[in-house]
C-alpha cells in the first residue's frame, strides 16, 4: 500500500485541517486569517538531488495581515518508524530554510505506528551546544479513537481507523469515519476518493462488513446508493479526466502566484511584463525560475 501517497493527497486536499490535527501544538497559538500554500515536492527535486531527502508536503503558512512572518511546516509520513532518520529530517529542514530564506520551520512527522527513536539531535562539545534539533511527531497508533470519534476535523475523522481501539470497536470506528466523511465533505469526488482511504485503513473482513450493514443500515444504504449512482453515471471517469486537466491548470496558477509573491518580496512590485511572463509560463518553467530566484540579483536573471 502506498501510504506516503495516501497521506500526501490527504494533506494537499485538507492543508489547514492537517496542520490543526498533526501539529496541534503549533496551530493552537495561531490567530487571525491564514493563507496556506502547499509547496510541491517536485519543486524541491532538482535542488535536493538525493531521493531519500524528499519529504511529503511542505506547507507555507502566511498571515495576509502581515503581522507575523511566514512559517513553513514540513510534514513527513513514516509507515515504518524504524526507517525514520532524525539526521535526514534535520538536513531537509536546513535545505528548506536555505531555499526559502526562512528560519521559521516546523518539522512534523506522522507515524502510523509507535515511535521509540530519538526525538532530539545535539551537536555539542564539553563547553557548549552548537546545534540542537527536535521535531513534532504524531503517533496515530497511540491515539484513542474515542477522543476524535465526533471531531469536526475531517483529517482526524478519516484517520480513526489508524488510531488505537479495542478489536470489538472496529465496526464502530469504521462507521464514525464514514459519518465524518459524509458530514464534513460535500464534494462528491472527494467523498468517493476518501471512501477508499477509510476502506484501506479499516480493512474490514466480510463478516465485519455484514455487521456494519446490520448495525448501521441507514449509513450502509446511503453508501450503497452513493457508489451506485457515482459509478453508473460515469462520474468517476469524468472526474478523473477533469481532475487531471484541472490539476495541471491549478498547479500552474498556484505556482505562478507563489513565485510572484516571492519575487516581489525580494525585488519589490513586479512590472506588468514580468507578471504576464510568470502568469503564462508552464509548470516546469515556473519550477526552474523558482530555483533561480534565490541566487538572482534581479528579475531578469530568472529568464537566462
> Any idea which residue has 462528491 for its cell?
188
The answer to whether position 150 is within a domain reads yes
Cα radius of gyration rounded to whole Å, the chain: 22
Q: What is the pLDDT of residue 47?
A: 39
Query: Do 104 and 195 have their domain in common?
Result: no
Q: What is the pLDDT of residue 260?
A: 78
pLDDT(48) > 50: no
Query: Do 31 and 4 have their domain in common?
Result: yes
Q: What is the pLDDT of residue 148?
A: 97
Q: What is the pLDDT of residue 239?
A: 47
DSSP state of 150: T
pLDDT band at residue 42, thresholds of 50, 70 and 90?
Answer: very low
pLDDT(34) > 80: yes
- Distance between CA atoms of 26 and 140, rounded to whole angstroms? 18
The answer to whether position 274 is within a domain reads no
- Distance between CA atoms of 118 and 162, rounded to whole angstroms? 23
Q: Which of 184, 211, 238 is the last residue of a domain?
A: 238
The whole-number average pLDDT for the span 245-269 is: 70
Query: What is the number of domains present in the chain?
Result: 2
Q: How do strand 35-38 and strand 57-62 relate by DSSP bridges?
A: antiparallel
Residues 6 or more apart whose CB falls under 8 angstroms from that of 33 comprise 63, 64, 65
The whole-number average pLDDT for the span 87-99 is: 88
Query: Do 165 and 219 have their domain in common?
Result: yes
Q: What is the pLDDT of residue 254?
A: 72
Q: How do strand 120-124 and strand 105-111 relate by DSSP bridges?
A: unpaired
pLDDT band at residue 150, thresholds of 50, 70 and 90?
Answer: very high
- Distance between CA atoms of 5 and 49, rounded to whole angstroms? 20
CB 293 within 8 A of CB 274: no
Q: What is the pLDDT of residue 276?
A: 85
Helix axes 272-279, 235-267, angle to 10 degrees: 150
The whole-number average pLDDT for the span 217-225 is: 76
pLDDT band at residue 168, thresholds of 50, 70 and 90?
Answer: very high
- Distance between CA atoms of 224 and 242, rounded to whole angstroms? 24
CB 252 within 8 A of CB 284: no
Grouping H, G, I as helix, E, B as strand and the rest as coil, residue 111 is: strand
* Least confident range of 57-71, 98-112, 185-199: 57-71
Q: Which of 88, 114, 142 is the last residue of a domain?
A: 142
Domain range spanning residue 103? 1-142
The whole-number average pLDDT for the span 20-37 is: 85
> Any idea which residue has 485541517 for its cell?
17
> Any idea which residue has 511566514 for its cell?
70
The answer to whether position 99 is within a domain reads yes
β-sheet bridge partners, residue 61? 36, 71
Query: Do 95 and 3 have their domain in common?
Result: yes
The answer to whether position 283 is within a domain reads no
State percent of the chain over pLDDT 90: 38
Q: Which of 142, 159, 186 is the last residue of a domain?
A: 142
The whole-number average pLDDT for the span 50-75 is: 72
Give the mean pLDDT of the chain: 82
Query: Do 119 and 24 have their domain in common?
Result: yes
DSSP state of 144: B
- Distance between CA atoms of 34 and 27, rounded to whole angstroms? 11
Query: Do 135 and 155 have their domain in common?
Result: no
The answer to whether position 17 is within a domain reads yes
Query: Do 99 and 42 have their domain in common?
Result: yes
pLDDT(49) > 50: no
pLDDT(75) > 80: yes
pLDDT(200) > 80: yes
pLDDT band at residue 268, thresholds of 50, 70 and 90?
Answer: confident
pLDDT(38) > 60: yes
Q: What is the pLDDT of residue 67?
A: 65
Closest CA to 39 of 95, 112, 111, 119: 95
Q: How do strand 57-62 and strand 71-78 relate by DSSP bridges?
A: antiparallel
Query: Do 188 and 136 have their domain in common?
Result: no
DSSP state of 133: E
Of residues 156 and 44, which shows the higher confidence score?
Answer: 156
Amino acid at each position: 500500500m502506498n501510504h506516503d501517497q495516501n497521506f500526501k493527497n490527504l494533506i494537499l486536499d485538507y492543508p489547514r485541517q492537517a496542520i490543526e490535527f498533526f501539529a496541534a501544538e503549533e496551530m493552537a497559538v495561531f490567530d487571525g486569517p491564514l493563507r496556506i500554500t502547499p509547496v510541491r515536492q517536485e519543486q524541491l527535486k532538482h535542488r535536493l538531488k538525493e531521493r531519500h531527502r524528499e519529504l511529503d508536503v511542505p506547507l507555507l503558512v502566511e498571515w495576509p495581515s502581515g503581522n507575523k512572518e511566514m512559517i513553513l511546516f514540513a510534514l513527513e509520513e513514516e509507515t515504518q518508524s524504524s526507517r525514520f532518520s532524525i539526521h535526514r529530517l534535520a538536513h531537509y529542514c536546513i535545505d528548506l530554510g536555505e531555499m526559502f530564506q526562512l528560519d521559521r520551520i516546523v518539522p512534523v512527522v506522522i507515524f502510523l505506528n509507535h515511535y521509540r527513536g530519538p526525538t532530539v539531535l545535539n551537536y555539542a562539545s564539553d563547553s557548549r551546544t552548537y546545534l540542537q534539533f527536535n521535531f513534532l511527531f504524531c503517533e496515530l497508533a497511540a491515539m484513542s479513537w474515542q477522543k476524535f470519534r465526533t471531531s469536526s476535523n475531517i483529517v482526524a475523522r478519516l484517520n480513526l481507523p489508524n488510531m488505537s481501539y479495542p478489536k470489538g470497536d472496529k465496526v464502530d470506528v469504521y462507521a464514525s469515519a464514514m459519518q465524518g466523511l459524509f458530514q464534513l465533505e460535500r464534494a462528491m469526488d472527494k467523498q468517493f476518493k476518501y471512501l477508499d482511504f477509510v476502506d484501506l485503513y479499516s480493512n474490514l473482513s466480510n463478516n465485519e462488513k455484514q455487521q456494519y450493514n446490520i448495525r448501521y443500515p441507514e449509513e450502509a444504504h446511503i453508501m450503497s446508493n452513493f457508489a451506485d449512482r457515482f459509478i453508473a453515471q460515469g462520474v468517476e471517469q469524468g472526474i478523473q479526466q477533469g481532475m487531471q486537466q484541472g490539476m495541471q491548470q491549478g498547479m500552474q496558477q498556484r505556482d505562478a502566484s507563489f513565485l510572484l509573491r516571492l519575487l516581489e518580496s525580494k525585488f519589490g512590485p513586479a512590472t506588468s511584463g514580468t507578471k504576464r511572463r510568470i502568469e503564462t509560463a508552464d509548470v516546469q518553467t515556473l519550477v526552474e525560475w523558482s530555483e533561480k530566484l534565490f541566487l538572482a540579483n534581479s528579475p531578469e536573471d530568472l529568464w537566462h
